[in-house]
């Protein structure tokens, strides 16, 4: 009788410390295969190649020769790309081949960004922050950098239209004047809906229009800004307020669902990053606590983060106020928290020890503590956050009275007025309620009952289709304006004349004013200057106004020094708010609607740069899947890419799902701004989530009673999280402050690596880079800046799904720990410019080689597309042009290209060059001025675009350069240094500052 030996049990899977996907964490067969295969299925399409037996050496060489001929032909072909026309009269300030820079400004919501616009031969090609701005200091947001694409958008409306036919501006003005004059004579209201009014001159123009047209009603509406913040502010201050964090003054920061590190506020990112760049253990730093439902960029940078349902955020905030009261911090007059129980609220999973540490941190820091509440949170949560800051006496924020914005309830009331025939005319300027209002069809039906409907905007959208008169307006790069008030005024000036038969929106209203009999200046430029001379120009100034205005235009701003009084906190409504917060319940599942990183409220959905930039958290492109926690997805039997139905109050959407580590259980998230029906790039991308918003100004972005169910089928995800996996190596390093002290104490020099390569000599310069992972927040500003500077192609969602995205720099996110609440480390990854580069010795045509200054170079017209270099690159940072992404671009899209960088054709390999064009420009300038290069004079686009200054570039041969000093730092390491390739990029380890018992650690 044979004895049966039981099969050996499967060895337990060892969870890696750092992982990027759930499959990688659990080492599923699919993940192992993906790591083994190196490239995604379909990334290298061999369907058209001959069978291996037919693929001879002669055939291979013939194929490569054909590819080289094709590449050369395509590179020389200019068919359909327009003609080069020389200047008949060259502008005085334009020197061919030399860039000009103009200070200007751009508005998004209530925020205005002061920028510098780089132009070449009169056309804007790149945007950076204005280094004269005292807060932004040369930094700006990713969407601001990318919005230059809006200027050259092929879908822009190029002339006025009425009932589908083009017409002249004179006829358009006549129709507008007749409609407004008729409304005035009949005494019927005229409704004007715009975005937020951040310009004092535009506000003055609206006041003049109101004086000439007394029946005018104006609504300023921002569909994604979160009505709960305004409702909460009005309850405790009696007015709308704008919260400006001052993180440089904060030791402890508590985020209640506030994503203040998302990149929209470069000033906040710079201040936060400055506190994290430690050079020695024991130096003072800050601590970031985050309580949130969906994982955000801010949450991914937290020292301590706890997933909390948004419906319970307000209860947590009031409980913290109660705990601080017990620690001796007084309540403001009128505040009553007697109904709030002590301790962690029910339904909130925060350990008692962590709660104690959080209270201790806030109580200890007091004036140096800051509490921020997310725009999507409820009005009660915002009231509680204002209460906490008032109790702490926080100096780390500024509160400014803000112009009121219309809520969804206000828009609903306007819609009912239209349906009832109340309005004689409606003017819609840069707003799209036919798409972004929750009851879009009802809005369209009501709008159709208004006798005169005029639309003003850049490109025809869903609302334009419902209007009779379409008036194309200038892009902001073609416009004049001003922003700010009190201490700082920012000027916007055109960097280029109007490309088409368009007008500035303010000029449209000035023409209407003139038609109504008002005495107004000839254009908005004159109107703005007249207002500045009257209200901004200092009385008795020894400088003539024209000179004063010219200096303001050159600098882009004026510091006035007139600070507005801060609003006064009133606590009478807090008792009712606390009771409502304690009673709030989100049901089995609750939904959070957030602005899309790429789309915002849909206005950027036709911007290819933004749509293809991976979302900093999910790494999704071109789509807005439903985000679920891992636990909820497994309960619902859903996997990545599976289609699901999302139902809220009878409205159902069919969406793909993504399992997001760190997502709070019971919370699902959907991004707004997708599902457009107009625009070449926007149409059909994702689903429109605005129909799910509530008509409740207290919390329109939060919905309870949500149902999610499997719908059957799946959808390929254009998601980059699993792309370019670096398998089985320690790629990133992240330490707590205690580990940092240990590492710095025990740091040893690594073993000397043996190499067969001869030592290289660099006669003049050796360029290198240092990236501080503790300062990098993962905002993706570097990716957008690089794409703009280096003519990086947009490839579309299908190609991204196949792993063919072309970005020269990517942001890898690594998770550590439990899937329910992991730590996150962001790591920018680009060509490492290795001294002993593995790509160089396998190129059969020497297309990739090393320069005397340490740059790994690509000679595009040599490259025949073997892709051997990509196979041999351990960092997977080389990109291949599989398709012709650029040759079919015609004006105006081709005008955006930087002429200092080659526009690459199909069939060549490309990658980061350290912005060699900027290096050469700096060297030429220094030589022309007969001086040596200065440290920091040359900055690649990624470094300029990084709001937190996490990227430092310079000459490694200069021992006094900042980059040389940072290379020697006690946090420095090089990725895959053990391979002996000698990368020129050094990373500094990420740092976390979690609280220990008592909450007194390293503050």
Cβ proximity of 169 and 160 under 8 Å = yes
Cβ proximity of 769 and 939 under 8 Å = no
Residues 606 and 695 in one domain: yes
Strand order in the sheet with 18-19: 18-19, 810-816, 823-829
Distance, CA of 873 to CA of 881 (rounded, Å): 17
Cis peptide before 892 (omega within 30 of 0): yes
Beta-carbon contacts of residue 173 (< 8 Å; ≥ 6 apart): 511, 512, 515
911 within some domain = no
Ordered mean pLDDT values, 10 residues apiece, the chain (1003 residues): 49 72 76 63 52 42 39 37 50 79 94 94 93 91 95 94 92 95 94 95 96 95 89 91 92 96 92 92 93 96 95 95 92 86 89 94 95 94 95 92 91 96 96 96 96 96 96 96 87 94 96 92 94 90 92 90 80 89 87 95 95 95 96 94 95 96 96 94 94 92 94 93 77 92 81 82 94 95 96 93 94 93 95 95 94 95 92 93 83 88 92 96 93 94 95 96 95 92 96 73 53
DSSP 156: B
23 within some domain = no
Beta-carbon contacts of residue 775 (< 8 Å; ≥ 6 apart): 273, 274, 276, 277, 948, 949, 950
CATH of the domain at 261: 3.40.228.10
Residues 232 and 218 in one domain: no
C-beta neighbour count of 172 within 10 angstroms: 22
Token pair belonging to 449:
């009952």
Cβ proximity of 241 and 570 under 8 Å = no
660 within some domain = yes
Cβ proximity of 102 and 119 under 8 Å = yes
Per-residue model confidence (pLDDT) at position 469: 96
Per-residue model confidence (pLDDT) at position 171: 95
Distance, CA of 512 to CA of 499 (rounded, Å): 23
Beta-carbon contacts of residue 752 (< 8 Å; ≥ 6 apart): none
Residues 649 and 663 in one domain: yes
Closest CA to 577 of 238, 341, 337, 407: 337
In three-state secondary structure terms, 701 is coil
Residue ending a domain, among 714, 749, 767, is: 714
CATH of the domain at 678: 2.40.40.20
Per-residue model confidence (pLDDT) at position 61: 42
Token pair belonging to 582:
């304690």
Beta-carbon contacts of residue 193 (< 8 Å; ≥ 6 apart): 218, 219, 220, 221, 406, 414, 426, 427, 428, 429, 431, 433
Per-residue model confidence (pLDDT) at position 501: 95
Residue ending a domain, among 714, 740, 772, is: 714
978 within some domain = no
886 within some domain = no
239 burial via Cβ count (<10 Å: 0-12, 13-18, 19+): middle
Token pair belonging to 289:
């606590």
Residues 382 and 482 in one domain: no
Pairing of strands 287-292, 252-256: parallel
29 within some domain = no
Residues 134 and 278 in one domain: no
Residues 173 and 131 in one domain: no
How far CA 462 is from CA of 149, 225, 433, 608, 691, in Å, comes to: 20, 20, 8, 19, 14
Tell me the residue range of the domain where 326 lies: 227-401
C-beta neighbour count of 660 within 10 angstroms: 24
Token pair belonging to 373:
């509440």
Residues 236 and 368 in one domain: yes
Pairing of strands 767-772, 985-988: parallel
Q: How many domains does the chain have?
A: 4
859 within some domain = no
Per-residue model confidence (pLDDT) at position 747: 80
β-bridge mates for residue 656, sequence order = 643
Closest CA to 296 of 597, 622, 589, 701: 597
CATH of the domain at 131: 2.20.25
Residues 237 and 340 in one domain: yes
How far CA 322 is from CA of 64, 250, 328, 340, 809, in Å, comes to: 73, 22, 10, 7, 47
Closest CA to 176 of 450, 453, 489: 453
Residue ending a domain, among 401, 423, 442, is: 401
The whole-angstrom distance between residue 145's C-alpha and the CA centroid of its chain comes to 10
Distance, CA of 223 to CA of 195 (rounded, Å): 9
In three-state secondary structure terms, 294 is coil
Pairing of strands 425-429, 452-457: parallel
Residues 117 and 202 in one domain: no
683 within some domain = yes
Distance, CA of 945 to CA of 965 (rounded, Å): 22
C-beta neighbour count of 15 within 10 angstroms: 13
Pairing of strands 642-648, 879-880: unpaired
Distance, CA of 451 to CA of 190 (rounded, Å): 11
Residue whose pair of structure tokens reads 């007008």 in the numeric block: 503
Per-residue model confidence (pLDDT) at position 38: 59
Cβ proximity of 732 and 827 under 8 Å = yes
In three-state secondary structure terms, 135 is coil
Entry field: residues in the chain: 1003
DSSP 838: T
Distance, CA of 867 to CA of 43 (rounded, Å): 12
CATH of the domain at 498: 3.40.50.740
Q: What angle do CA 594, 243, 372 make, to 5 degrees?
A: 60
Residues 323 and 395 in one domain: yes
Residues 220 and 232 in one domain: no
Residues 252 and 353 in one domain: yes
């Amino acid at each position: 009788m044979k004895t049966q030996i039981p099969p050996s049990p499967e060895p337990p899977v060892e969870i890696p410390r750092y992982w990027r996907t759930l499959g990688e964490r659990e080492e599923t067969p699919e993940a192992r295969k993906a790591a083994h295969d190196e490239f995604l299925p379909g990334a290298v399409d061999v369907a058209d190649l001959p069978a291996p037996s037919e693929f001879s050496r002669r055939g291979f060489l013939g194929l490569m020769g054909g590819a080289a001929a094709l590449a050369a032909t395509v590179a020389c072909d200019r068919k359909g790309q327009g003609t080069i026309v020389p200047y008949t009269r060259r502008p005085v300030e334009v020197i061919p081949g030399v860039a000009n820079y103009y200070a200007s400004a751009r508005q998004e919501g209530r925020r205005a960004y002061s920028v510098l616009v780089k132009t070449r031969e009169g056309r804007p090609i790149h945007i950076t922050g204005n280094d004269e701005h005292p807060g932004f200091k040369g930094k700006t947001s990713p969407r601001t950098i990318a919005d230059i694409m809006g200027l050259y958008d092929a879908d822009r409306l190029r002339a006025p239209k009425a009932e589908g036919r083009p017409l002249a501006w004179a006829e358009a003005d006549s129709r507008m004047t007749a409609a407004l004059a008729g409304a005035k004579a009949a005494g019927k209201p005229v409704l004007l809906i715009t975005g937020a009014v951040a310009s004092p001159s535009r506000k003055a123009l609206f006041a003049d229009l109101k004086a000439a047209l007394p029946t005018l009603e104006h609504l300023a509406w921002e569909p994604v800004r979160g009505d709960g913040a305004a409702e909460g502010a009005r309850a405790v201050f009696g007015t709308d307020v704008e919260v400006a964090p001052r993180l440089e003054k904060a030791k402890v920061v508590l985020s209640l669902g506030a994503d203040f590190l998302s990149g929209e506020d470069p000033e906040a990112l710079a201040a936060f990053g400055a506190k994290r760049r430690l050079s020695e253990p024991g130096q003072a730093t800050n601590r970031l606590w985050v309580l949130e439902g969906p994982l955000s960029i801010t949450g991914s940078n937290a020292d301590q983060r706890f997933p909390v349902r948004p419906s319970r955020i307000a209860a947590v905030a009031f409980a913290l106020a109660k705990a601080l009261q017990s620690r001796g911090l007084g309540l403001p007059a009128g505040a009553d928290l007697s109904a709030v129980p002590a301790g962690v609220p029910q339904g909130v999973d925060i350990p008692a020890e962590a709660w104690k540490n959080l209270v201790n941190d806030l109580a200890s820091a007091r004036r140096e503590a800051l509490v921020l509440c997310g725009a999507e949170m409820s009005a009660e949560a915002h009231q509680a956050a204002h209460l906490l800051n008032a109790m702490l006496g926080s100096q780390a924020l500024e509160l400014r009275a803000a112009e009121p914005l219309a809520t969804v309830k206000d828009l609903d009331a306007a819609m009912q007025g239209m349906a009832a025939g109340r309005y004689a005319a409606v003017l819609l300027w840069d707003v799209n309620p036919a798409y972004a209002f929750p009851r879009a069809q009802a809005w369209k039906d009501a709008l159709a009952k208004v006798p005169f409907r005029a639309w003003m905007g850049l490109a025809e959208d869903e609302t334009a289709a419902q209007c009779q008169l379409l008036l194309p307006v200038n892009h902001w790069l073609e416009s004049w304006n001003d922003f700010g008030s009190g201490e700082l005024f920012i000027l916007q000036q055109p960097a280029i004349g109007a490309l088409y038969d368009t007008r500035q929106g303010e000029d449209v209203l000035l023409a209407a004013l003139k038609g109504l009999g008002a005495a107004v200046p000839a254009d908005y430029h004159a109107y703005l200057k007249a207002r500045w001379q009257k209200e901004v120009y200092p009385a008795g100034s020894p400088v003539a106004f024209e000179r004063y205005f010219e200096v303001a235009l050159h600098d882009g701003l004026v510091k006035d020094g007139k600070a507005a009084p801060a609003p006064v906190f009133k606590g009478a409504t807090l008792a009712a708010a606390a009771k409502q917060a304690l009673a709030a319940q989100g049901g089995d599942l609750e939904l959070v609607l957030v602005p899309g990183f790429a789309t915002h409220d849909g206005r950027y959905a036709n911007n290819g740069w933004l749509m293809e930039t991976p979302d900093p958290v999910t790494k999704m492109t071109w789509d807005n899947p439903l985000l679920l926690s891992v636990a909820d997805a497994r309960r619902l039997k859903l996997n990545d890419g599976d289609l699901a139905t999302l139902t809220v109050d009878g409205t159902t959407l069919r969406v793909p799902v993504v399992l997001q580590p760190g997502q709070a259980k019971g919370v699902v998230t959907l991004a707004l701004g997708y599902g457009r029906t107009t625009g070449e790039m926007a149409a059909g991308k994702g689903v429109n989530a605005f129909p799910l918003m509530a008509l409740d100004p207290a919390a329109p972005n939060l919905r309870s009673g949500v149902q999610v169910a499997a719908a059957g089928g799946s959808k390929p995800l254009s998601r980059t999280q699993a792309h370019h996996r670096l398998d089985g190596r320690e790629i990133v390093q992240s330490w707590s402050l205690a580990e940092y002290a240990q590492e710095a104490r025990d740091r040893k020099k690594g073993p000397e690596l043996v190499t067969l390569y001869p030592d290289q000599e660099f006669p003049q310069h050796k360029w290198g880079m240092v990236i501080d992972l503790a300062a990098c927040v993962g905002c993706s500003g570097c990716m957008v800046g690089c794409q703009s500077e280096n003519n990086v192609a947009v490839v579309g969602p299908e190609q991204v799904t196949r792993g063919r995205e072309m970005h020269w720099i990517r942001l890898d996110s690594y998770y550590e720990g439990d899937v329910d609440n992991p730590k996150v480390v962001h790591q920018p990854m680009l060509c490492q410019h290795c001294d002993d580069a593995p790509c160089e010795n396998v190129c059969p045509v020497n297309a990739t080689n090393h320069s005397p200054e340490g740059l790994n170079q690509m000679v595009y017209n040599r490259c025949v597309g073997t892709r051997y270099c990509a196979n041999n690159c351990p960092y997977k940072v080389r990109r291949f042009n599989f398709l012709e992404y650029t040759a079919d671009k015609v004006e105006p899209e081709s005008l955006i290209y930087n002429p200092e960088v080659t526009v690459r054709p199909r069939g060549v390999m490309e990658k980061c060059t350290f912005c060699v064009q900027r290096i050469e420009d700096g060297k030429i300038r220094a030589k022309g001025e007969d001086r040596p290069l200065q440290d920091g004079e040359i900055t690649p686009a990624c470094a300029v675009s990084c709001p937190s200054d996490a990227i430092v570039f310079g000459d490694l041969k200069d021992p006094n350069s900042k980059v040389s000093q940072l290379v020697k730092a006690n946090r420095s390491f090089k990725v895959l240094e053990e391979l002996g390739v000698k990368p020129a990029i050094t990373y500094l380890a990420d740092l976390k500052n979690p609280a220990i018992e008592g909450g007194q650690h390293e503050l």
